[in-house]
Amino acid sequence: QVQLVESGGGMVQAGGSLKLSCAASGRTVSNYAMAWFRQAAGREREFVAAISGTGGTTGHADSVKARFTISRDNAKNAVYLQMNSLKPDDTAVYYCAAGRVLGTTERWYDYWGQGTQVTVSS
């Protein structure tokens, strides 16, 4: 079992920045790929970014490339999402996920956090 707890969400004006954190506990977290997904009201959950267990491979959705950066610190069992140049369309609940395979769809991830709300005002 892997437990995930997100933090760092909040309300920010368009153009601002936020850094989300995901604290992981349980099994050896460095064995897992980690990802961020988001779900806006009335929409399906969508992929945002993912990172391999070692941190050597990352991927970002086209909608957030050049604005968001995923990173991890295995010594701290933590994963981060630095979000810059935020837009109102980025408003959503952001979820941290862990899985054995690095992928861009939900089916690759076995463990999920409860989510943290990010609201971007115009």
Could you list the beta-strand ranges (E) of 2-77: 2-7, 10-13, 18-26, 33-39, 46-51, 58-60, 68-73
Note the pLDDT tens digit of each residue in 1-31.
Answer: 899 999 999 999 999 999 999 999 987 788 8
Element (H, E) at 118: strand 116-121
Note the pLDDT tens digit of each residue in 68-78.
Answer: 999 999 999 99
CA distance 119 to 93: 8
pLDDT confidence of residue 18: 98
Least Cα distance to 101 among 39, 59, 73, 46 occurs for 59
